[in-house]
Amino acid sequence: MYGKILRIDLTTEKIVSESIPDEWKRKYWGGEALNDRLLWQHYMAVNPEIDALDEESVLICGVGPLGATGALAAGTKVKWTFKSPIYGGFGDSVGGGFFGSELRYAGYDYLVITGKAKRPVYLWIKDDSVEIRDGRFLWGKDVHRSDDLVKEAVGDSGAHTAIISPAGENLVRFACIIMSRFRSASRTGGGCVMGSKNLKAIVARGTRGIRIADPERFLSIIYETYPLMDQNIGWQTTAKQGMPYLIKYYQKKGAQPWKNHQSTLIPEDVFKRTDSSYFMKNFKTRDSSCSAGCAMACTNWWRIRDDGTSFGKKYAGETGEKVEYLALAGMMCWGADQMASYCHTQKLWDILGVDAAEMGESIGFLMHLYEMKVIDEEDIKSWMGESQPFRWGDTELVEKITLSLVYKQNGLYELLKDGVYEAARKIEKMKGIPLIQYVRFGAKHAPEPEDIRNRRTWTVAMATATRGADHLKALSGIESSQLTGICQEMVGTPHGVDSRNPYLKGILLAWEENRTAGMNSTGLCIFNTFTIGHLGVGVDIFRRCHEAVTGEKADDLFTVGERAYHMERAFNAIFGHRRKDDALCDQWMNEPIPAGCPGEGMKGKDYFDLMMDEYYTYRGMDPETGLQTRGKLEALGLEDIADFLDKRNALSHAKPRDREEFLAETVRRAEEYASRLDHCSERGKDR
């Protein structure tokens, strides 16, 4: 069943709970989509132009209706939604842990937090008891110390927390929210928003559980799931190797960000001592699930051992949970070449609550400038108060830089607190030379560590992601994993998986964005969309499970996801986001992939306009402006949002194309292009 919405005004200390409207349950399910509706509800009543850190801004936490139930053996994810303090538009982030489960067991699916406390506070939520408590004793403490202290204060070691570090307190604009000590909701600055409200932590403990509307049907659906998982090689790989297996995957794809993206491959000797096989042999201690109901258990506990490397010896004996690929990629940006460096640094970044993508890209950018002699030790001394070479792979230096930023120790705070794009602009002004070409980013200047030039759906994804460039807004695998069967099922031809063929990429990307947003509205872990085997159009098992849990009839998952996408896109349109802003950095657009790397010679600019035209048209948007059309928003039941945009000249009145007609036309073009490719290949053989 559904829980309630808990509204907390930190200024007035007013706390109220309310039921979720039945229409919202049908149209949005929960999680991402319902969070988006709550965001719109707030900013329709409050001027959306206010600063993200204004007292009247809102921070929303939501868990979908399948979260914490054990549904489909897929674990539980929490979605945080807010106006982003770093990218200036829509912001959200997602993380695991047991915090969301405890919140649901207490009877609440959503937190809507407004206002600003007069002093540092924390929230203590236990069933019907909800308190705003003095949190001054926690201020200035890192995540793990705060977690220990606040559990002691509430007298419940079984409670779970969502906590910010001094990074959030000091308004680092890419500060994270850390749940259950190790699980990071890292992107777009939720920790900064939380810090701006003087809210240090939220502590949740629930004893009620969740009532399942049809337990017999629910269990039968779960039993359907396990054979699908057992047959799926992706599930087996992820369950045993955890996220380090992606080092091997992206090495094969040529998508690594080595030394500030100077190569799409890491050196072979580095690969051999950092891939998942090496990790399992030398560092992994046991499997673990990060959240309620997860059978995958991709969270690997590790212990650093002296493996003969310099940092293996230095950090031997240190323990931690899960090495995440996004953090690994962030560390590749600055040339980390030892598994001990990866484990130690990710744990450090989590304890200190900073986004690994922004942190890694920022440090890699500075090291690249140092290598090119754009900055020197005098510059570094002016920032840090001491002369310090910025050499590739220096884990001890990275620790110094991180501490300088998080604790506001020196000039590196002002340089880095707004993210890598703004850091480049600051150094450009200082040096009087252009430097932004050495920053890798997509929409809204957000960095994405993975190289995307040889996967055309990802090229479009990084330009259109509603929270700024980020692979988790689409989790696009049809092209990169060559899923011809899914492509055939979705669009009626397998040719969309061919990276040489520019057609169908915008359509497939839109479809995957809708699927991902729909999955994020269930409350389940998105990775299980791959491992359960429900990538295709036949995702009806999620709807059936939703009905069994809630007893509610609801729209299909793809329609729910499409509504979420359009609400997020519309929010950005308020702030002037148009087609010109769906852009990629100079390197991805104009520099071909280096020789010897997969996709050699490919660049984002190839067919970019064609793919973007296709994307907007399929989405029912205006391809000239990138604005949404009234017809499309009304078809999705978002009339109030269309009216809101219209008053701000942020809506197109162009008539959207018929989707099925446009799809059929694009499929014909893709097949004609494939025939030309085949013809050219045959001619090449004849020669």
Helices (H), 372-439: 377-384, 395-406, 412-416, 420-431
CATH 3.60.9.10-classified regions of the chain: 4-205
What pLDDT sits at residue 614?
98
Taking the model in full, what pTM does it have? 0.96
**Could you give the CA distance from residue 369 to residue 438 in angstroms, rounded to a whole number?**
9
> Is the distance from CB of 55 to CB of 11 less than 8 angstroms?
yes
Q: Tokens at residue 303, please?
A: 């212990």
- Sheet strands (E) in 10-57: 14-18
Q: Output the six-digit token pair for 258.
A: 């080595």
| 3-class DSSP assignment, residue 88 | coil
Residue 117: per-residue pLDDT:
98
Of all helices (H) and strands (E), which one includes residue 222? helix 215-231
Range list of H helices, 575-628: 586-590, 608-618
CB under 8 Å to 347, separation ≥6 — which residues? 318, 320
Structure-block tokens of residue 156: 């419940």
For residue 536, the model assigns a pLDDT of: 52
Residue type at 22 in one-letter notation: D
C-alpha 650/C-alpha 437 separation (Å) is 30
Q: Which of 120, 175, 168, 178 is nearest to 144 (CA)?
A: 178
Please name which of 312, 306, 349, 352 lies closest in space to residue 331, comparing C-alpha atoms: 349
CATH fold for the domain made of 243-440? 1.10.569
Residues 291, 514, 241: CA angle, nearest 5 degrees: 40
**What are the two backbone dihedrals, phi and then psi, of residue 203, each rounded to the nearest 5 degrees?**
-115, 130
Comparing CA positions, the residue from 486, 481, 473, 436 lying closest to residue 589 is 436
SS3 365: helix
CA-CA distances (angstroms) from residue 671 to 357, 608, 610, 664, 665? 38, 19, 16, 11, 10
Answer for the pair 415, 215: CB distance below 8 angstroms, yes or no: no
Nearest-angstrom CA–CA distance, 22 and 360: 43
List beta partners, residue 320: 302
Cβ contact 27:560 at 8 Å: yes
Q: How far is residue 541's CA from residue 225's CA, in Å, rounded to a whole number?
A: 9
Q: Which of 109, 162, 58, 221 is nearest to 521 (CA)?
A: 109
Q: Are 231 and 533 in contact (CB under 8 A)?
A: yes
DSSP 618-662: HTTB-TTT-PBBHHHHHHTT-HHHHHHHHHTT--B-PPPPPHHHH
The DSSP string of 70-88 is TGGGB---EEEEEE-TTTS
Question: What residue spans in the chain does CATH classification 1.10.599.10 cover?
Answer: 451-531+554-686
The H or E element that residue 94 is part of is strand 90-95
Identify the residue whose tokens are 């359907």. Answer: 224
3 state SS of 579: helix
Beta bridge pairs of residue 162: 179, 202
Query: What's at 462, amino acid-wise?
Result: M
Query: How many H-runs (helices) and E-runs (strands) does the chain carry?
Result: 31, 15
Cα–Cα distance, 525 to 66 (Å, whole number): 10
Q: pLDDT by residue (tens digit) across 364-398?
A: 999 999 999 999 999 999 999 999 999 999 999 99
Query: What class has domain 451-531+554-686?
Result: mainly alpha
Residue with tokens 């538009």: 89
Q: How far is CA 685 from the centre of its chain?
A: 44
CB 354 within 8 A of CB 406: yes
Counting every residue written for the chain, the total comes to: 687
Output the pLDDT for position 535.
52
What span, in angstroms and rounded, lies between the C-alpha atoms of 529 and 517? 12
Which residues belong to CATH 1.10.569.10 in the chain? 243-440
Q: Is 490 helix (H, G, I), strand (E, B) or coil?
A: helix
Task: Give the phi and the psi of residue 34 in degrees, each rounded to 5.
Answer: -70, -35
What lies within 8 Å, CB to CB, of 214 at 6+ separation is 547, 548, 549, 551
Residues of the chain where predicted confidence (pLDDT) is lower than 50: 534, 537
CA separation for the pair 239, 108 (Å, rounded): 30
- Which residue reads 């190839």 in tokens? 606
Look at residue 493 and give its three-state secondary structure.
coil
Please, are residues 40 and 567 in contact by the beta-carbon 8 Å criterion? Answer: yes
* Per-residue buried b or exposed e for 343-365, using 16+ beta carbons within 10 Å of the residue's own CB: bbbbbbbbbbbbbbbbbbbbbbb
How far, in Å, CA of 415 to CA of 278, rounded? 36
CA distance 161 to 585: 37
Contact call for residues 325 and 247 (beta carbons, < 8 A): yes
CATH node for 4-205: 3.60.9.10
Paired tokens of 49: 């132009």
CA–CA separation, 444 vs 24, rounded Å? 29
Give the largest Cα separation in the chain, rounded.
79
Ramachandran sector of residue 181 (left: φ over 0; alpha: ψ -120 to 50; beta: rest): left
C-alpha to C-alpha distances, 314 to 213, 323, 340, 539, nearest whole angstrom? 54, 19, 9, 48
User: Is the separation of the CB atoms in 407 and 175 below 8 Å?
Assistant: no
Dist CA 662 CA 665 (whole Å): 5
Q: Using alpha carbons, select from 396, 255, 321, 248 the residue that is nearest to residue 98.
A: 321
